[in-house]
Structure 1
């Protein structure tokens, strides 16, 4: 999305940066991993197709994407080159797809996705903080259209992700039996009442 093409979000544990061409090679290597393909329901692309996809996402009016960096790895990297530091500290990505609610065309949904690639980086709070930063950013900055509700679709067997989203404040919405998924939702009206979002301090750098 163009709105975040120069925006960096800095949290306690992660730094979210817009998906750029220098991230593609490592991202492409992730998407060759069978477990990641299964978790993301994705088919592998050629490297050329991956570069084309990055360009599309950067200009897509409905898809907001950030690459997730581990803040401690970024800050401890010995290189003085920003690109090298980012590639060394990449651990995943977080996305928000904006669409009309087909049950109520006056409402817009933000469908969230989070991918933390290596198991050693899971269950350490990186995914949770990335989702919180993304929701806060979308809630405050996506104004046309404005997201009315956030949703997430998770395979029924993915208990860690279900537990993470429920801890943030998402509630059960429905079963999607055809894909063996459940849908959880978070209404934006509850965000300001939720201390998880109100107490999450982060900074925004729009000069990235």
Structure 2
């Protein structure tokens, strides 16, 4: 999405920055790991394909992506950060994403015309490096991401609607996460944030966890510690991460 092209989110436990070209080499190295490919249901891409993927995600109006980095120090806090040091490869730890698509009721008796103007959001997260797992960073990143979604939901829906040539922005029906049934830690993470399992394990061995849109309002009051939205700037010599 273009919405977060110049936006970063900082908390005491995590920093989220927009996915730029400068991040692709590290991201590609992560995705060379067969275990990560399996966990994220991803196919192996060439480096050129990874660069194309990054450009596609930036331009797409139904995908919102942040790179997760280690938190800023107190001395680094301000109203903006400059790309480079805070999101250098050694500070990158994973990514968090929102995918939007039209809502389709599973009840075959429920006609599409009876549920106009709805869409569904799917949230996923990856902590790539083993050394950063099990320390609460994933939960902190998702919590900050949900806070950002709540605060910018109108803008997110507006960008999605413009791309789909919709006269009126749709309503977000629900957020969900699809997680491999064997990934107990990730399932526990989403449940701790209010997601609840819906149905049984699917054909692909995934558990579907759902957060109804109404629950998003609680994030207005349940703000992560140190939550700040910052301007993400690039100096004149930087061309989206070259």
Structure with greater Cα Rg: 2
User: Could you list the runs of 5+ residues in structure 1 that have no partner in the other structure?
Assistant: none
| Distance in 2 separating the partners of 1:14 and 1:191 | 20
8 Å CA contact 2:150, 2:217 repeated in 1: no
For residue 194 of structure 1, report the CA deviation from its aligned partner. 6.2
Against the structure 1 CA distance between its residues 38 and 75, is the aligned structure 2 distance closer, same or farther, given a 3 Å change threshold?
Answer: farther
TM-score in terms of structure 2 length? 0.78
Gaps of 5+ in 2: 77-81, 106-114, 159-168, 234-242
Deviating beyond 3 angstroms after TM superposition, the runs of 4 or more aligned structure 1 residues are 72-76
* TM-score, structure 1 as length reference: 0.90
1:88 aligns with 2:90: yes
CA deviations 1:131-153 (Å, max 9, x no partner) are 11111111221312443311000
Q: C-alpha deviations, 1:34-78, integer Å up to 9, x for none?
A: 1101100111111111001000000100000000001158989xx
Q: What is the aligned partner in structure 2 of residue 8 from structure 1?
A: 8
How far did residue 172 of structure 1 move?
1.1
Secondary structure (helix, strand or coil) at the match of 1:148 reads: strand
1:130 maps to what in 2? 141
Which deviations, in whole Å up to 9, do the C-alpha atoms of 1:86-110 show, x marking residues without a partner? Answer: 1220000000001111114432211
Residues 205 and 129 of structure 1: is their aligned pair in 2 closer, same or farther, counting only changes over 3 Å? same
Correspondence for 1:114: 125
Distance 1:122 1:161 in 2: 10
Cα separation, 2, equivalents of 1:185 and 1:28: 30
**Contact 2:150/2:219 (8 A) holds in 1:** no
Give the number of aligned pairs.
Answer: 203
Q: 1:36-55 counterparts in 2 under 5 A?
A: 36-55=36-55
Deviation at 1:198, TM superposition (A): 1.4
Change (3 A) 1:14 1:119: same
